[in-house]
Amino acid sequence: MNPLSAVTSAIPIHRFDVERVRTDFPALQQKVHGKPLVYLDNAATTQKPSCVIEALEHYYYLDNANVHRGVHELSERATDAFEGARETIRAFLGAASVKEIIYTSGATESINLVAYCWAHKNIRSGDEILITEMEHHSNIVPWQLFCQQTGAVLKVAPINDDGELMLEEYEKLLTPKTRLVGMVYVSNALGTINPVKQMIRLAHDAGAVTLVDAAQAAPHIAIDVKDLDCDFLAMSSHKIYGPTGMGVLFGKQALLEEMPPFQAGGDMIEYVSFDKTTFNKLPYKFEAGTPHIAGAIGFEAALKYVQELGLGVISAHERGILQYATQRILDIPGVRIIGTAALKCGVLSFVLEGAHPSDIGTIMNYHGVAIRTGHHCAMPVMQHFGVAGTARASFGLYNNRGDVDAFIGALAKTKEMLE
Ligand code: 7TS
C-alpha cells in the first residue's frame, strides 16, 4: 500500500513553478554571510509566504479584538475570521465537523491534551500504550510521564536499520491490554512515511484508540482523517508555512464529548457558580482563555496557500528534490544516510565520517546554508543508529535543485575543511 497514492491521484494538471513560488517567500530573498540563503531546515519550521504575513498584519492593523465576547464590529470580524479558519482547517483535514477541531499551541500541546484528558480517564494501571521507536520526544515523554503517574506500561514497536517500522513486531505488540497507539506519520529524524492507515486498522482490531502525530506529514501528504479513521491527530501550523504557537488537535466527536476539559478558565465554561460549573460545548470546552486569534488566521492563510498550489504537485516536486539530493550526497565519500526507508519524504539525515554534526552545521552556515544538527528531539532514533546526532537537510515546497547544488557544494567544502 502506498500512502502517497491518495495524493498522486489528486495531482492537478497545472505545473508547479518553483521559481515563481519562491518569490512568495520574502525571507528566502536574503543573503546570509554574503551568500544567498539556502533554507533547508523546514522540518524545524518553514518560512512564511507573503499572504500569511499579510493576513497577520491585516488582523492586527484592522480587526484586532477578542473573540466570542464582544458585540462590536471588530469583535465580530475577529470572531468570524477565527471561526472561519476553523472551518478551513476542518476541510483541509476532512473532518466531519468543526466540533472536532480543537485549537492548540501546536502538535506538542495536542498530544499532551490527549494524555491529560483522554488517557487519564480511560487508561488504568497495567494497561498498555504502544508507540514507535521513531517518535519525536513530544510523542514519547507525555506517555512516559503518564505511565509513571498511573502504572500503565509503555511499549515500543521497533524499527529496522533502514528506519522503517517493523510492522510484524508492531502487530505482535498489540494486545487486548493496548488502550492507545501513538504513531508518527512522518519521522522528523528519518523522513520515513509510516503506513498509518494500516497501523490504525490493526490498532482498532485490537480495540485500541489511535493518535497520529502529523506534524511532519501535513506539509507533504494530503490528510483525510475520515479515510485514515484515526481517533486523534496532532498538527502544527508553523511546519506548514503558518505562524508559530498555533496548531490543532483533531478528535472524533464521540471521544471528545466524553473527555473532561483540559485547562480551565474563560471561554471553556457554560455556567459558573461557586456550587457548580458546567462546561461549554465542543470545541470550546478545550479552549480556555483568549486564544491565538492571529495564529488561527495566519494558519488558515497558509492552508489556503498550500491548497491553491495543490498538495499533489507539492509532494511530487519535493519527492524529486529529495531524490536528487539523495543521489548527489552519495557522491561525497564518507557520507552515511540515516534513514533509507523505501517511502520517505522531506528529510535527508546524514553523518559524515570524522566530522561532528554540529561542526558541519556551523560551517555550512557560513556558506549561507541552514540545516539542523543534533538529535532532532528523537534521541531513541539516534540510539538505534549508534550516533549522537545527525546533520539534517529538510525540504519544503520552495526548495529547488539550485538549493541542493549549493548544499552539496557547501558540504564538500566543509568536508575539506574538517579533514
Ligand atoms: N512531532 C514531530 C514529528 C515533530 O517533528 C515535531 C517538531 C513535533 C511533533 C513538535 O511540534 P511542535 O510544533 O509542537 O514543536 N519537530 C522539530 C524538528 O524536527 N526540529 O525542530 C522541531
**Mean pLDDT across the stretch 296-309?**
98
pTM: 0.96
CB 201 within 8 A of CB 149: no
Do 260 and 119 share a structural domain? yes
pLDDT attached to residue 12? 47
DSSP labels, 254-316: HHHHHSPPSS-STTSEEEE-SS-EEEPPTTGGG--SS--HHHHHHHHHHHHHHHHH-HHHHHH
CB 79 less than 6 A from any atom of ligand 1: no
- 132 Cα–ligand 1 center, Å: 16
Mean pLDDT confidence for 68-97: 96
Residue 136, ligand 1, Cβ within 6 A = yes
* CB 104 near ligand 1, within 6 Å: no
CA 269 – ligand 1 centroid, Å: 31
Pocket test of ligand 1: the residue of 108, 133, 345 to mutate, having most ligand atoms within 8 Å of its CB, is 108
Within 10 A of 154 (CB to CB), how many other CB atoms are there? Answer: 15
Is 377 catalytic? The answer is yes
Find out whether 335 and 387 touch, Cβ atoms under 8 Å.
no
**Of 290, 307, 324, which residue is a domain's last?**
307
CB 188 less than 6 A from any atom of ligand 1: yes
Closest atom, ligand 1, to C-alpha of 106: 14
Say how many domains are in the chain. 2
Average pLDDT, the chain: 96
With cut-offs at 50, 70 and 90, classify the pLDDT of residue 4: very low
Q: Please indicate, yes or no, whether residues 295 and 327 belong to a single structural domain of this protein.
A: no
State if residue 107 touches ligand 1 by the CB under 6 angstroms criterion: yes
Q: Which atom of ligand 1 is nearest to the CA of 189?
A: 19
pLDDT digits (tens, 9 = 90+) for 105-154: 999 999 999 999 999 999 999 999 999 999 999 999 999 999 999 999 99
Does a structural domain hold residue 268? yes
Instruction: Confirm or reject: Cβ of 44 under 6 Å from ligand 1.
Output: yes
Instruction: Give the mutation target among 40, 105, 236, 376 for probing the ligand 1 site: most ligand atoms within 8 A of CB.
Output: 236
- Of 51, 117, 147, 377, which residue is the catalytic one? 377
Q: Would residue 37 count as lying in a domain?
A: no
Q: Which value, to the nearest 10 degrees, does the dihedral of the CA atoms of residues 241, 246, 247, 248 take? A: -140
- The helix or strand, by DSSP H or E, that contains position 403, with its residue range, turns out to be helix 401-418
Q: Is the per-residue pLDDT at 390 higher than 70?
A: yes
Ligand 1: atom nearest CA of 185 is: 3
Residues 302 and 325 in one domain: no
| Residues 342-362, mean pLDDT to the nearest whole number | 97
Local confidence band at 289 (pLDDT 50, 70, 90 cut-offs): very high
Cα dihedral across residues 371, 377, 380, 386: positive or negative: positive
What pLDDT is attached to residue 176? 98
pLDDT for position 10: 46
User: Looking at the predicted structure, is the pLDDT value of residue 7 above 60?
Assistant: no
365 lies in some domain = yes
Rounded Cα distance, 352 and 325, in Å: 15
Shared-domain flag, residues 275 and 223: yes
Specify the ligand 1 atom closest to the Cα of 239. Answer: 13
User: Exposed (0-12), middle (13-18) or buried (19+): which is 68, by Cβ within 10 Å?
Assistant: middle
Is the C-alpha dihedral spanning 235, 123, 131, 108 positive or negative?
A: positive
Taking the centre of ligand 1 as the mean of its atom positions, its distance from the CA of residue 278, in whole angstroms, is 34
Ligand 1 centre to CA of 187 (Å) is: 9
User: From CA 247, how far away is CA 89, in angstroms rounded?
Assistant: 10
Average pLDDT, stretch 348-375? 97
Asked if residue 230 has pLDDT above 70, the reply is: yes
pLDDT score, position 14: 61
* CATH at residue 208: 3.40.640.10
* CATH number for the domain harbouring residue 15: 3.90.1150.10
